[in-house]
Amino acid sequence: MRKKVIAGNWKMNKVLKEAEQFVADTKDNIPSSDKVESVVCAPYPFLASLVDKAAGTDLKVAAQNMHYEDNGAFTGEVSPVMLKDLGVTYVVIGHSERRELFGENDDTVNKKVHAAFNHQLTPIVCVGETLEQRENNETMTLVENQVKQALAGLTDDQVKQTIVAYEPIWAIGTGKTATSEQANEVCTHIRNVVKEAFSADAAEAVRIQYGGSVKPANVDELLAQSDIDGALVGGASLEADSFLTLVEAGAK
């Protein structure tokens, strides 16, 4: 049985004091990591402090992006070496906002996934279609290509440790959630793609999250689906109470 992963992606929200307060308000009530992995994906300036404040608890800290090189002349960028050094353990890669607004593509996503494994960071790799692509019946092909390209060149063992987040872009921050059946259909397809490209064992182990307007009111139904192993949550992860409700749902 795959362990659920609930990751709160704060995006570009909060200031340091608010971020620290969130950790203070949640860390003692986070369910055991034997039951669910609970992760906050925070802006870079908060990472060192949050890793420190969450130390010894079951709350883990992720970055929302990184560069794929270890160091060099890349002004404004943050490397996997820096994240690892801070004690960060997960990193979101290829979020649709990065793809749409900051020129991420399947090639940079693949390089970042390899870089994450080179530095013992667990990648949360985002894929998903636009509304137009869904309406043109391109969802399955698009997601298949994104998954294959993101994971290209990984070993079976690395694929087993990867988290894929299926986020239909039309459901992000819009209040429109994919129905649990729609979400599961694509997550099942992703698992089949992994089986074909890697192995049945890798497909059985890889965790696949759903993301897009997940909230306390719909999380149980989504997590009850056969191929949904967690959630990548934006808006509903910003408040401590709401985040705790989500991680408790993951621990059931």
Ligand X SMILES: O=C[C@H](O)COP(=O)(O)O
* Binding-site positions for substrate: 9-11, 173, 213, 234-235
Candidate segments 18-26, 27-35, 132-140, 208-216, binder of ligand X by CB under 6 A? 208-216
In the set 214, 222, 223, 244, which binds ligand X (CB under 6 A)? 214
- What span, in angstroms and rounded, lies between the C-alpha atoms of 94 and 227? 21
In the set 110, 184, 209, 213, which binds ligand X (CB under 6 A)? 213
How far is the CA of 132 from the CAs of 44, 49, 180, 232, 233, in angstroms?
A: 33, 41, 20, 22, 23
* Other beta carbons within 10 Å of 89: 17
Task: Please tell me what DSSP assigns to residue 3.
Answer: P
Q: Angle CA(52)–CA(55)–CA(58) in degrees, nearest 5?
A: 135
What residues contact 168, with CB distance under 8 A and at least 6 apart? Answer: 128, 129, 134, 139, 178, 182, 183, 186, 212
54 sits in which H/E element: helix 47-54
State yes or no: residue 167 binds ligand X (CB under 6 A). yes
Which of the residues 95, 114, 119, 189 is marked catalytic?
95
Candidate segments 19-27, 109-117, 155-163, 212-220, binder of ligand X by CB under 6 A? 212-220
State yes or no: residue 39 binds ligand X (CB under 6 A). no
Candidate segments 67-75, 148-156, 231-239, 241-249, binder of ligand X by CB under 6 A? 231-239
Indicate the residue among 8 and 31 with the shorter CB distance to ligand X: 8
State yes or no: residue 128 binds ligand X (CB under 6 A). no
For the CB of residue 188, give the shortest distance to ligand X in the complex, in Å.
20
Q: Angle CA(211)–CA(216)–CA(219) in degrees, nearest 5?
A: 50
Which residues in this chain contact ligand X in the complex, by CB under 6 A? 9, 95, 167, 172-173, 211-214, 232-236
Question: Which residues form the catalytic set?
Answer: 95, 167
